[in-house]
Each structure stands twice: as C-alpha cells, then as structure tokens.
Structure 1
Amino acid sequence: MSKIKFGTDGWRAIIADDFTVENVKRVAYATALWLKQNFEKPSAVVGCDPRFAGPMFADVTTCVLASQGIKVFRAENMFISTPMISLGTVRKQASAGIIITASHNPPAYNGYKIKAFYGGPATPDDIEKVESQIPDTINLELKSVTDYVTDGLVEYINLEDMYVEHAEASFDIPAIRDSGLQWAYDAMYGAGQNVMRRLFPDITFLHADYNPSFDGQAPEPIQRNLQEFEQLIKLSEGEIAAGLVTDGDADRIGLYDGEGNFVDSHHILLLLIHYMYKVKGEKGEVYSTFSCTSKIQKLCDAYGLNNTVTKIGFKYICDLIVNSGKPFMVGGEESGGIAVNGHIPERDGVWIGLMIWEFMAKSGRSLQDLVQEIYDVVGKFAVERYDLHVTEEKKQQIISNCKSGFAAFGNLKVTRTEDLDGYKFFFEDETWVMIRPSGTEPVLRVYAEAPSTAESFKILDIVKADLLK
C-alpha cells in the first residue's frame, strides 16, 4: 500500500488512484486510534462537500469510526462546508470533526480534513500522531451505516440548520436583505450554496447547483477562475452592489465590488479591522501571515491595535486564537482564509462575506467607498504575485542567494530584510518583494507590494529578471 502523507491542510489525492475506499479506511482507522488514545468518550462529526464520491467516502469513514466504538454525528446532506463541520464539532462537544473535501483542488482530487474539538484545524502534532498510525493494510468487518444507527453509534444531524441559525443570531440578516442593495453569489458548485440560498433566496446565484466535477475547473476563488462572475457584475452596470464567491468547501472567500473589480484578501482584512474596531467598537488581537500587506500593521498602529505576523498557513493563526489567552478580533492569510471573533477559530468564506455585506448595508456605502476609507488611513496599495516555475536546482540556488542577502534588485535598493517564512526585501519607499519556495513543487512564489498594480508588476518584473539571469 502507498504511504499516506497529510499536507498543510489535510490529506488530498486523486480519486481512484490514491484516494480509494481502502486508503480512506486506513486513514479513518488511524483517526479512530488517535481519538481513543486521547479522549475518554471519543466522538466525531463527519460530513462531505459535493465533490465526486464524497458521500461514499464519508460513509466509509463513519463506519470505520463506529466499528471502533466511536460515536459519530453524521451530517445529513452533502452540501457541507468545512466551517459547518467545525461549528458542529463545537456545538456537539465532539472530540474531532472530519470532512471529506479537497477544498479548492482540481475536480480529480478528493481529501480528508481533521478538525479539532475547538472548531479549527487540528494541530500538526495531532496530525502527525494520526499519520504515524496509518496501517499498511487493513481488514475490517464493517456493518452498514443503518446498522450502526440502530446500535446507537451513528446519529444523523442537520449541520445546515445549525449554521443558518448561528448566522441569523450573529448578523442583522434583515438589514442585508432589506437594504435595497442587489447581491450576487458564485458558489463555484461548492458547499456554500444551500445556506446562502436559505439566507438570501432572492439574490443572483451563479454555479449554485449540483455538479460534482465543478464543470471541470478547480473551485478556487481567484480572479482568473471567476471571469464569468466578473462579467455578470460588470454587465449589471452597477445594479449588483457586491459579489461574493466561496471555494469548494466554502472556507475561502473571493469578493467583487459593484464595478466588477476583484477585492483581494489584503483589502478584506483591512475592511474587517476597520468595521470591527471603528464601527462596532470591538478590540482584540489581529493576526496576519507573512505574505499579507504591510498596510495591516499601519492600520493597527492608527487604531492602537496589536498585529502579530505569523508564518504562512492558517494553522499558525488558529494556534494563536486558541492558545494565546488574549482577546481576538481578526486573523487571516493572503489566500482567502479569514477568521473573526464571535465565530469559530476557522476560515469561513460565507461568514466573512456576510460581515462585508452587513458593513455595506448598515453604512449605506458602496464597497468602493469603504475601500477608499481604508486608503484614506493607510494609502493606496496593491499586492501582486508571480509563480516562477524553475528547476529544483535553480530554486535552491535562488534561496541560497536570498539567505546571503541582496543589496538591490536592478535599480531597487534593499533597505532591510525579514525572513520569518521566506525572504521579504524592503525598498526605500517601503514597497517590498517577498520570495518563498513552494514546499511541494519546483516553484518560487514572488510577491510584491506597491501603491498600484502597475508598480507592483514592475517590481515583480525587475526581481524576476534578476533572479533568473
């Protein structure tokens, strides 16, 4: 049997190649061992998103856990988001949550994510304990899910109801519905569609039906994947005030303003800090990853808030939310995963979208105007990225050069360097470039921040030419 390795956010593999019933059994069995070793009366919430074969793999997981005497709370349908599993884990006081999803990966993939009892990503230490116990082969006599229900080991629960009720208790949903603003939502055929349809039945929906292969496209809410949605908003000629997008398991967000401009996570994080502190009067810690805009620090300085910069990966933000002992306000990463106080320590694209829509509805201001309010404090900016596909040898050479340090890239003089997770080189006007190797492929991720998109790409082009010469 193949060796199974968890990545930064679960185990993912190609369906019918490595992601098979037998391999899911192996992982579920190791999960059961870990649960029994760490909890007196272990239990787990189990569900799946609408990706191909999700219900089958969720049933296999359910049966393996139940066969080991673990109580399973099984989600009733297959439009289950990762945040719904995390919320259900907290509400049912379960030992863990398991969702069958490959998140934003291409449709050929499926995956297996483990969530901790506190409703966020399991720690790397716990994942390692599960991984180390995955057997090479497995031979289990399993009964049907129905039999385990009869035995009292499996109980079906409605996570959709739970999530909708939580949202209705946490947001002024009537204010959003009755604001007179027109909203649009692109589900990318993913797990957010049912709850959004229940919360806002009258808005414009796109890709919000059952399509387990996501129409052949990776359900990742980045601008190049959202051209149909972007055109929908532009053709509305200002009638649609804002567009929300979520990925396959609805934990990542994409956002558009009423002019059809993509609003990235850097801007969303700033909008959330502005809304929660300046408008709602909340205070608490801000957590942002190393690849996020420096403007977060500038806004926090202006508002007297503490911003802690973490390594890249939501698990580092979750660890601070759960274990720092400090009141928390906002935490997020550049790739669209953001958490806020008042919810779970988990990325949630739908939840963050509702925060922005509520901000717009209550302020009576357009998303463009709210972004301008941020610029009035911190200045205009744009963060752009290149992925440089290079040989492994070239990648290692460039990283070695980064360690040694650069005095300049072309005519851009380096004034200081940070190396928390990758290498960030600052220039005289506080613009910067960041270079970070991919841990899984021969790719260098190169980010740049400057006052405009054109200037960011100019920096990227200068740095790219220097790195590849």
Structure 2
Amino acid sequence: MNAATTRPTTSAVLLAAGADESSRALLTSRLGDTTVVEAALATVRTVVADEDITVVVAPGDTTVREALGEHLAYVEQAELLGTGHAVSAARERIAHADVVLVAYGDTPLLRPDSLRGLLNRYALTGADLGLLTAVVDEQLPYGRIERDADGVLRAITEATDVAGATAPDDDGRLEINVGTCVADPRALLARIDELAAEGEHRLTPVVRRFIDSGASVATYRIYDTDEVQGINTAAELALAGDIVLRRLFEPRRNTDTHVVFGTGGWRAVIGEGFTLGNVRRLCQAIANEAIRTGIDARGVVIGGDRRFLSRESAEAAAEVFAGNGIPVVLLPDDVPTPLVTFAAPHTGAAYSIVITSSHNPPDWNGMKVFRADGSLPLDPETDRFQDEANALAPGDVVTLPLAKARATGLVVDRSLTDPYVDAIEEIIDVDAVRGSGLRVVVDPMFGTSQLTLGTILGDMRVRAEFIHAAHNPLFGGVAPAPDEERLATLKSMVASGGYDLGMATDGDSDRIGIVDASGRYVETNDLLLVLYWYLHEVRGERGGVVRNIATTHLLDRLAAHFGERSRECRVGFKYVTAAMEEIDAVLGGESSGGLTVRGWLKGKDGIFACALVAEMLARTGKGFAELLADVHAITGRLHTLEASVPATPDMRVAVPRRLAADPLTRVGGYRVLGVDRTDGVKILLEHDNWALLRFSGTEPLLRLFVEADSPEKAAELLDWLRGFVTA
C-alpha cells in the first residue's frame, strides 16, 4: 500500500476535567441508562478506537475513571486553566497521530454521524482545521459563527458578546460553534503553545488563531439543537434526560444490522431493516437456539406470503437451516400465516417460520416464528433471537446452497394446503352449511387466503365471489388491513348484490373483517360477542373467554351470564392464547380482528374464522344483525370508538409524565374507579365504561380506545383523550 492510500491514524481527546467539583459531579450523573461522560465517550468510540482515546481528568479525580473503566488512557490536567491547556496535557498521547479529535465530556448528545461528518469533511477538503457548528433557532451559550458573503468562516463571536454579532440568516436561524474540532495534532499544539505564552489557555481563541492566520477551516453543520445540549447545571441535566427519552422513540431506519421483534414478529421496511442479510442472521440465531436446546433434528417448516422478497427470503432461510444440518420443509408458492402456524404441530417441527409483515404497508416485510405447538414465542425467547441475530456478522452465518440441500434431502418441497383445509373441516360443520344457499363475497385484499378459503367455501357449497384476489405485492396501494375504510368495495358489492355476507382477510390471512347483508361493516368487538354466544349456546362448548385490554367488556358480561370466567390480557396474540390455556377458554380474540377457538390453533386464523361465521349463519338461519340484537338483549349495549394519533418523540415523553403526575380522579365529568398500567394506561369508569391510551408496538402511533354506554359519551371520552395527549 502506498502513502497516498494509507489510512491516517486518528486519536481523540475527551475533556472531562470539569471547571469545579459541581461540574465534575454532573459528569458522572445518570443520563438515561448511563452517565453523562459515558454517553459522550460512547459517541467518540464510534469513530476512534479505545486505545487511541485519551481522557483528560482533574488532578486527583477518580470518579471519571471509575465511570469509564481502567482500560482507557487518562492524563491529569495539573491546573484547570482552560480547554486548550487540557488538550496540551494529552500532548504525549496525541503527538504521534495524523489527526486528533477534541470532544467534550459535558456534551454527551452528539450523534455519531456528526463526528463522522466532521472527520470526513476535514479529510476530503484538506483543511487545516475542522470545526463542528450547529444551526439553531436562538442564541445558546456558545460562540457565534460569522461568515462573509461567500460563506467563508471569518470569526467566532463569544457568547458573552453576541450583541455585536451579525444579524441572523434570512430564515431567522443562527450558527454557533459547538467546540468539537479536528486537526493535525502538531499544528493544534503549536497554536495552543503560542497562546499559552500570551496567557490564553482556552480552545476557542486557538480556533480564532487558525482563522486569523488565513488557515483553511472546514465546518460541518448539524441541525438538531438537541445535540448541542451541554450539561453544566442540574436543570440542563434534566433537559438532556428528556432528550434521551425522546430519542428512544424516534422512528428509526432499520439498518442491515438491526432486528427487533414486536408484538407479532419482526417487521421492517424492505431494503432498510428487511434484507436478505438480516433474514439469514435471524435464521442463524434460531438455528443456534434449536441446536443448543437439542430440538434441531425435528426440523423447521418455512413459507412466505405474496410480498416483495418473500419467496427469496424463504429460500434464503432454508439455506441457513440446511447449512446447520437442520431438516427443512419448504412450502411452495405463497401461503397464509395460519397454515404455517398449523404446520409446526402437524409435522412435529421444532419451529415454523413465515416471511410476512401481516397487514403492514406494501414496502414492509418481516418474519413470524412459531414454536412446536404453534404458539408465538414469548418475549424472553424473541429477545434471545434478536440479540443473537444482531450480534452475528455475515461470516457467522452457515449456509448450504438450495440446490445441494434439495439434492441431499435436507430441504423437501411439500404442500400442506390439503392437511390444513382438512383439519379446519374436521372442526367446522361443513354439512350444516351445504344446502343453506349462502351467497358471500370474499376480499383477500390481494393476500394469501384465496386457495384455502376458496376450497373450504367450495366444499360447503357456498356461492362465493372473490375480489382483489390476484397476486399484487403492492396490495392495491394500501396496507392490507381489513378495516372499514379499506373495505368500501366489499361493502358496496354485498349491499347491491343481495349477498348474505362479506368476508375479508388481511395480507397474511390471520385477521378477519365481516360485512353484514346490509353492507354494514361489523366491528370485531360485535363479531367476538356473537361468536362467543354461538359457541356456547348453539355448539354447546362450555368455557370462558379471553380478550385483550382494548376489546369490549361485553364479553365479560356474557361470560358472567353463562357462569363462565373471562380474562383480560396484554395486547399481542401470544398473550391471548396463553390466557386461554390458563382458564380453558373456548374463545380468545382482540378488537383488531384476530381470534381463535379452543381445539384449533394457538394463533389467530382469519380463514378458520370466516368458515366459522358461515357455519353460524347457516345453523342459526339468522343474519348477523339479528344475532347481534339477540345477544345485546342479554348483555346490554356498549359503544366503542378508537383513534390513532402520531406518536412523536416529544409525546412519548410528555404523555407518560403527565399520566404519572395526574391522579386521574375524573375523566371529563366522569368518576374514575381505577387505573390499570399493565399495558398502556387503562382508565376504568363506572358501568363498564373505560378509556385506554397505548403506544403501538409496531408503528409510531398512540392508540386511543374508549367504550361507553352511549355513543355520545364514547365520543366525549375520545375527545377528552385526544385533548389530554395533545395538550
């Protein structure tokens, strides 16, 4: 390698001596899950190796050393004369390097990209000095950057003398000197020494000396004011703590090394978080778990839905498991998620895996993993999967080319459509539906239910017309969720065509949407209520019911009427099925459209649910509206409303803080009976009325739910929630 291509050596100095005891105490104060100085060091570490970092501390101070650890190099600033003098204290450590980065221990919120941008601009421009600046809306306690008409840096005005500074830019914004800089250490130390001889020991005058001497200065601007929040007082520490909390909830691009499980598997934007590399790493982590626990010989079942990259990802997953010596059943073409849920217990596999992101928008994909019994792994297990996957390098993944895996029998292509359909028809009373003359319209929303649901309806002799059934990975340009606003065509066809029912399933077929004979969208809360009555009273299946916290309390009333138990659980279908086992419930469901029954899958199944609804209408001989009226005669009426508001980072900090501070004795004019903080904040009112605020686990949204004994009261409660969270 010649000199022109040799990578320059970069060292860093982290200034952590503080001006006095108070400032040093702040350096080691807690900030989020770390300390101030640790947070500052963590950012520097993203661009400079530990062995090239020097931490400057006060004479005799041990607190910073204790916080950062003894593996770093420390030098003491003999006298606390200023920041330039502090850099000079590290002279012996930095003089050998080509580049030195100077950073501050009391400015811990700089992002790694800001330091990378500064170093990159300094290197590419060949400047004598690189300086980090920030564009802000108001003057902060930093020096003001002054530029000429050509944008060239001409001066830095001290924060104490901003009255003499030039006017703000046309947009009213100011540019300030953050203080972090980069230079050739020999040139930097030479100017520090020059000024020290004149009695000046601060770093800002050193930067001015560069400017005044005609040296070239490259600046890298940052535009996030939060980054420049220094910590010199307890009040500033509190502000920094709020910033850290907001950052935790900022929407992030899921990069190629970041796998995160939510309530229903791993989901990410295609080309950002969802990549074949991440699919392989996650599958390697699951394969490792199977080998560690001795269940690898049982193999895995893998399938994919109709989304972009689903087939390629399923095949990539098969190559990883085969590479680890784990047998694979690879399902052909596109398959619904419930079929994959069914596959693990049906085949005796250790895991079944489906490539899908359910009802997310078309530019998303993801993966759901099911255990041997068809249940979703709980948080401790998915935490292990994601943590191990994120720790793996591409070279840690073991693969076997698919052609060789097929040739050796490690990968077997096999369809499970017939066994899945047969299993449903063993539970559903197919004969009862035959001869009923049911006419339905089915909307798979361009998803995966057409083959399986079409086969079942055909066996029932139901006259079914399918819409939106073609293979379209764009899903018609919308997220394939069976919500009322996305089922306008289905509603219109049912009403105008004299059909008995409209059925819809989401993109991967595990959620259901129903339209009654009048073309009215049936709320899932109402569907669950009628299905529970039907299972208990018509099919004679005794047992309780499970609902999540956002689902109607009328299910509890109906269970009490039957003398059965009801159970509330957290959002996430894995919690629904776990609670069903605990109380031997006959039905479990959630207001978002997922449900299952005892004796079927330990996961939600929109295809099975559609078949069950057809059976219910055929056996009772009644339309859905009539059935609902019969059940309401038992339970009374409650009215549900829900809404979503964008969950900004500020809101994720402010709303929990406001909820913690507010005793919540009344909501509007209604007395509060209790507050449940198990999953979000659920406010319990009289007469089974309630209001729920919950941040989504899969989208940047704050979800609001209410249930009340009149439509007007429900609207009033929802308005109160909106006002509370946006105040």
Question: Which bin holds the TM-score, normalised by the shorter protein?
Answer: over 0.9
Q: From the CA coordinates, give the structure whose radius of gyration is larger.
A: 2
Deviation at 1:335, TM superposition (A): 1.2
Aligned to 1:273: 532
Q: Which amino acid aligns with 2:309?
A: A
Q: Which amino acid aligns with 1:111?
A: G
Aligned to 2:468: 207
Deviation by residue 1:236-279 (Cα, 9 ceiling, x = unmatched): 2xx21111111111111111111111112211221121011111
Aligned to 2:723: 465
Deviation by residue 1:36-90 (Cα, 9 ceiling, x = unmatched): 1123424101001111221111000011101110011111221x11110111111
Shift in alpha-carbon separation, 1:285–1:142, aligned structure 2, 3 A: same
Aligned to 1:167: 424
Q: Indicate which of 266, 281, 305 corresponds to 1:11.
A: 266
Shift in alpha-carbon separation, 1:304–1:13, aligned structure 2, 3 A: same
Trace 1:193-272 onto structure 2 (pairs within 5 A).
193-201=450-458, 202-236=463-497, 239-272=498-531
Greater displacement, 421-430 / 194-203: 421-430
**Alignment partners' CA distance in 2, 1:192 and 1:266:** 22
Percentage of identical aligned residues? 29
SS of equivalent residue, structure 2 residue 262: coil
Shift in alpha-carbon separation, 1:379–1:141, aligned structure 2, 3 A: closer
Deviation by residue 1:121-158 (Cα, 9 ceiling, x = unmatched): 12222212222221442235744423212212112221
**Alignment partners' CA distance in 1, 2:700 and 2:321:** 38
Contact preservation (8 Å) 1:35, 1:42:
no
**Alignment partners' CA distance in 2, 1:98 and 1:191:** 16
**Alignment partners' CA distance in 2, 1:6 and 1:337:** 19
Contact preservation (8 Å) 2:638, 2:710:
yes
Shift in alpha-carbon separation, 1:161–1:440, aligned structure 2, 3 A: closer
Shift in alpha-carbon separation, 1:320–1:425, aligned structure 2, 3 A: closer
Trace 1:375-386 onto structure 2 (pairs within 5 A).
375-386=632-643
SS of equivalent residue, structure 1 residue 110: strand
Contact preservation (8 Å) 2:262, 2:698:
no
**Alignment partners' CA distance in 1, 2:393 and 2:378:** 26
Deviation at 1:442, TM superposition (A): 5.5
Greater displacement, 375-384 / 165-174: 165-174
Q: Indicate which of 355, 361, 365 corresponds to 1:110.
A: 365
Greater displacement, 157-166 / 459-468: 459-468
Shift in alpha-carbon separation, 1:153–1:382, aligned structure 2, 3 A: same
Q: Which amino acid aligns with 1:225?
A: R
Contact preservation (8 Å) 2:444, 2:506:
yes
Q: Indicate which of 694, 697, 704 corresponds to 1:436.
A: 694
Q: Which amino acid aligns with 2:553?
A: S
Deviation at 1:321, TM superposition (A): 3.7
**Alignment partners' CA distance in 1, 2:307 and 2:525:** 29
**Alignment partners' CA distance in 2, 1:167 and 1:410:** 48
SS of equivalent residue, structure 1 residue 106: coil
Aligned to 1:76: 332
Q: Indicate which of 299, 302, 318 corresponds to 1:62.
A: 318
Aligned to 1:334: 591
Aligned to 2:388: 133
Aligned to 2:703: 445
Contact preservation (8 Å) 2:329, 2:411:
yes
Contact preservation (8 Å) 1:83, 1:251:
yes
Shift in alpha-carbon separation, 1:87–1:224, aligned structure 2, 3 A: same
* Bigger relative contact order, structure 1 or 2 (CA pairs below 8 A, ≥6 apart): 1
Deviation at 1:287, TM superposition (A): 1.3
Contact preservation (8 Å) 1:43, 1:71:
yes
SS of equivalent residue, structure 1 residue 287: strand
Contact preservation (8 Å) 2:263, 2:697:
no
Shift in alpha-carbon separation, 1:439–1:166, aligned structure 2, 3 A: closer
TM-score where L is the length of structure 1: 0.94
**Alignment partners' CA distance in 1, 2:385 and 2:546:** 28
Aligned to 2:161: none
Q: Which amino acid aligns with 2:447?
A: G
Shift in alpha-carbon separation, 1:262–1:405, aligned structure 2, 3 A: farther
Alignment of 1:405 with 2:663, yes or no, is yes
Q: Indicate which of 26, 39, 49 corresponds to 2:281.
A: 26
Aligned to 1:91: 346
Deviation at 1:318, TM superposition (A): 2.2
Contact preservation (8 Å) 2:456, 2:611:
no
Q: Indicate which of 301, 310, 326 corresponds to 2:560.
A: 301
**Alignment partners' CA distance in 2, 1:412 and 1:366:** 37
**Alignment partners' CA distance in 2, 1:169 and 1:218:** 33
Alignment of 1:49 with 2:305, yes or no, is yes
**Alignment partners' CA distance in 1, 2:618 and 2:593:** 22
Deviation by residue 1:338-384 (Cα, 9 ceiling, x = unmatched): 11012111100111121121111001011111111110111122211
Deviation at 1:175, TM superposition (A): 2.8
**Alignment partners' CA distance in 2, 1:59 and 1:446:** 40
Contact preservation (8 Å) 2:672, 2:684:
yes
Contact preservation (8 Å) 1:244, 1:254:
yes
Contact preservation (8 Å) 1:193, 1:209:
no
Q: Which amino acid aligns with 2:486?
A: N
TM-score where L is the length of structure 2: 0.61
Deviation at 1:439, TM superposition (A): 4.5
Aligned to 2:646: 389
Q: Which amino acid aligns with 2:313?
A: F
**Alignment partners' CA distance in 2, 1:391 and 1:43:** 43
Contact preservation (8 Å) 2:284, 2:398:
no
Contact preservation (8 Å) 1:415, 1:426:
yes
RMSD (Å), alpha carbons: 1.9
**Alignment partners' CA distance in 1, 2:272 and 2:615:** 44
Shift in alpha-carbon separation, 1:424–1:19, aligned structure 2, 3 A: closer
Q: Indicate which of 680, 683, 686 corresponds to 1:422.
A: 680
Deviation by residue 1:80-103 (Cα, 9 ceiling, x = unmatched): 111101111111000000000010
The alignment of Structure 1 onto Structure 2 pairs a total of residues equal to 464
